[in-house]
């Protein structure tokens, strides 16, 4: 038995979907443990693109079971749309292939309405949320007024909770935001129809994982977003509303920390982020445009253009500590092909002092100047490389620098979007836990 946690080390969009898809070959179960449909995993299999927002990307393997953990907030409409979309692609998704935790919280129309109204109200100071209702749903979870998946199996409970919640939500929408109130009956009718379709999937996911552990199954835990969008450890308030760090796999799936054997950090070979927030290595020149165009850097969920910049190893070093990383997976290395010179940020200058971590203060972070190590680029097509020694010397040097500065070994390198365009140095399911240093 070997259990691996996959986390993003930057601001999300690192390419976790492809890595999870690859590692699923060695897994028996794939568990998503936090976030909602504000995240999108994009992967390409045999030239065909798939985008997942809630269902773990391991669903593309017919013999694997995918679990949606209690740490998620789930939009039932989006989940049903994903099921239908997969069905149209010839992939059947039934209760034998997917489970939804009975403790997962459910996104309601008033969550989305409040999310959108807040962003409009804030104007130029908006956070840059996706407007999917993620934050407001997590708020209700913490104030103990949330609706959980189990409530979809009990119509009377669902009706009562909607009635009680709408008293507060409609007051807030109409009196504070000048928005339209929501109708209780139309919400209830819609959710009862969706509940009927989802009921066969709803179960105790923690218990299901427990049975798998006793049977010595391999389990892959999949996070969404990235470490620096973590509500506790990220660039607050420009963060998501959950904890994308590895420790959240325990709370978000219902297992003990002694069941996590390997933590794999996904690192895009450069840095991107969507929406507002500090970004020390951001490039607003032709190089930034080149990376954005070559990498097709548009959000899988929102379609927004991603901001692009050089790889920031101060950010990666923080992620190694926060997640207890055992190895790294480098993605989109091929996108840097064609650049004559590359820069890697090794730390920051702040008021003439060199620091090697990201400060919590946004004021201080705005004053940070990146300290770069310049490296030669490469011109050769690397998409056919399947071993490290098949990469150009310059690409090998780039990777070695990442390992040395992050003080974490590389176990996987993606050299193209397709499943096969990968260099597997060591499969995390097949190596013992390493010290991250």
From the candidates 21, 41, 228, 318, which is the catalytic residue?
41
Alpha carbon distance 193, 421 (integer Å): 42
CA dihedral 94, 198, 70, 303 (to 10 degrees): 90
Angle at 98 between CA 30 and CA 252, to 5 degrees: 55
Token pair listed for 83: 């099921």
Alpha carbon distance 105, 229 (integer Å): 20
In Å, the largest CA–CA distance within the chain is 66
Q: What is the three-class DSSP state of 430?
A: helix
Active site residue 13: yes
Active site residue 381: no
Residues in the chain, overall count: 437
The number of C-alpha atoms within 13 Å of 223 and in the hemisphere containing its C-beta is 34
DSSP string, 301-312: TT-PBPEEE-EE
Q: How far, in Å, are 204, 374, 402, 417 from residue 24 at the CA level?
A: 22, 36, 26, 16
From the candidates 13, 102, 230, 318, which is the catalytic residue?
13
- Give the residue from 264, 267, 217, 295 showing the smallest Cα distance to 1: 217
Cis peptide before 237 (omega within 30 of 0): yes
Contact between 433 and 326 under an 8 Å Cβ cutoff? The reply is yes
Parallel, antiparallel or unpaired: strands 98-101 and 202-203: parallel
Alpha carbon distance 117, 379 (integer Å): 48
Alpha carbon distance 221, 102 (integer Å): 18
Ordered alpha helix ranges (H), 244-361:
248-253, 286-294, 313-323
Hey, which residues are catalytic here?
Answer: 13, 41
């Amino acid at each position: 038995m070997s259990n691996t946690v996959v986390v993003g080390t930057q601001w999300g969009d690192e390419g976790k979907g492809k890595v999870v898809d690859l590692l699923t070959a060695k897994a028996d179960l794939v568990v998503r443990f936090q976030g909602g449909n504000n995240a999108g995993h994009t992967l390409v299999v045999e030239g065909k693109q798939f985008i997942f927002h809630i269902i773990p990307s391991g669903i593309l393997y017919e013999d694997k079971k995918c679990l949606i953990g209690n740490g998620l907030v789930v939009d039932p409409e989006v989940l049903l749309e994903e099921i239908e979309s997969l069905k149209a692609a010839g992939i059947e998704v039934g209760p034998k292939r997917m489970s939804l935790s009975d403790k997962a919280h459910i996104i309601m129309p008033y969550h989305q309405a409040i999310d959108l109204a807040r962003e409009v109200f804030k104007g130029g100071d908006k956070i840059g949320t996706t407007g999917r209702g993620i934050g407001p749903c997590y708020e209700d979870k913490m104030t103990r007024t949330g609706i959980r998946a189990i409530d979809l199996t009990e119509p009377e409970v669902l009706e009562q909770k909607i009635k009680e919640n709408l008293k507060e939500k409609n007051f807030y929408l109409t009196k504070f935001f000048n928005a339209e109130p929501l109708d209780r009956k139309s919400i209830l009718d819609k959710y009862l129809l969706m509940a009927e379709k989802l009921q066969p999937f709803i179960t105790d996911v923690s218990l299901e994982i427990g049975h798998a552990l006793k049977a010595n199954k391999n389990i892959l835990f999949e996070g969404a977003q990235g470490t620096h969008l973590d509500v506790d450890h990220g660039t607050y308030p420009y963060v998501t509303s959950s904890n994308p760090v590895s420790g959240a796999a325990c709370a978000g799936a219902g297992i003990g920390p002694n069941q996590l054997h390997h933590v794999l950090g996904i690192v895009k070979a450069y840095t991107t982020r969507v929406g507002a927030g500090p970004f020390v290595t951001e490039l607003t020149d032709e190089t930034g445009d080149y990376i954005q165009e070559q990498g097709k850097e548009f959000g899988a969920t929102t379609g927004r253009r991603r901001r692009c910049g050089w790889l920031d190893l101060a950010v990666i070093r923080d992620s190694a500590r926060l997640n207890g990383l055992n190895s790294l997976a480098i993605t989109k290395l091929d996108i840097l092909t064609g650049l004559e010179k590359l820069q890697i940020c090794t730390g920051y200058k702040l008021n003439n002092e060199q620091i090697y971590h990201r400060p919590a203060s946004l004021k201080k972070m705005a004053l940070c100047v990146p300290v770069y190590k310049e490296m030669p680029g490469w011109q050769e097509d690397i998409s056919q490389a399947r071993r490290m020694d098949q990469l150009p010397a310059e690409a090998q040097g780039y990777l070695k620098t990442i390992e040395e500065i992050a003080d974490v070994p590389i176990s996987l390198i993606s050299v193209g979007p397709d499943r096969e365009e990968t260099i597997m140095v060591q499969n995390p399911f097949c190596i013992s836990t390493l010290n991250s240093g």
